[in-house]
């Protein structure tokens, strides 16, 4: 089966790990709050304009969140995080972080040359060290809700 250029995971026997980084429940509450604020802003014009504006803003924000939700996929041949693809032969090591350690990885310990596929609403991250001598990127930092499973998939025998 030919490789798909799509960043979205596809059902396949060679998938070792697949996850979509969907927004957390509280992000949707924020979207609802912003949409509801449109009612207050537009109500002086008319109540119908307020409710119409709220619906439009909710649909636009929801569409943006859904359209920009990246996938993290590990196959026997590659790691895909969002639109980026890394052949597994260049994965040197992977380590998961949660809590304060994840915050430090995304903050004070972050290398500015690293590739980031992180989402603020997902605390745990996995650091994937690279072994490609031609790539100036030292590592990838990827958000995941299941860091142990992603690290295990990356540690599985490579194709």
User: How many Cα neighbours within 13 Å face the side chain of 51?
Assistant: 3
pLDDT at 159: 53
What tens digit of pLDDT does each residue of 46-100 get? 999 999 999 999 999 999 999 999 999 999 999 999 999 999 999 999 999 999 9
Identify the DSSP state of 83: T
| Beta carbons of 104 and 95 less than 8 angstroms apart | no
Query: Which pLDDT tens digit goes with each residue over 83-142?
Result: 999 999 999 999 999 999 999 999 999 999 999 999 999 999 999 999 999 999 999 999
- The model carries a pTM of 0.81
Sketch the domain layout of the chain as residue ranges: 87-155
DSSP 3-state of 134: coil
Q: Which two tokens stand for residue 144?
A: 């995941």
Q: How far is CA 86 from CA 10, 75, 91, 95, in A?
A: 17, 10, 8, 16
């Amino acid at each position: 089966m030919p490789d798909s250029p799509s960043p979205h995971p596809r059902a396949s026997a060679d998938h070792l790990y697949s996850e979509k980084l969907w927004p957390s429940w509280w992000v949707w509450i924020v979207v609802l709050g912003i949409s509801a604020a449109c009612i207050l802003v537009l109500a002086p014009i008319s109540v119908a304009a307020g409710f119409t504006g709220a619906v439009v803003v909710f649909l636009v924000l929801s569409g943006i969140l859904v359209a920009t939700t990246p996938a993290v996929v590990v196959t026997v041949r590659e790691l895909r995080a969002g639109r980026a693809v890394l052949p597994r032969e260049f994965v040197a090591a992977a380590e998961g972080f949660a809590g304060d350690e994840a915050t430090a990885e995304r903050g004070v310990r972050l290398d500015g040359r690293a590739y980031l596929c992180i989402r603020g609403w997902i605390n745990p991250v996995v650091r994937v060290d690279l072994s490609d001598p031609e790539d100036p990127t030292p590592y990838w930092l990827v958000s995941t809700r299941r860091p142990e499973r992603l690290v295990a998939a990356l540690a599985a025998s490579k194709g």
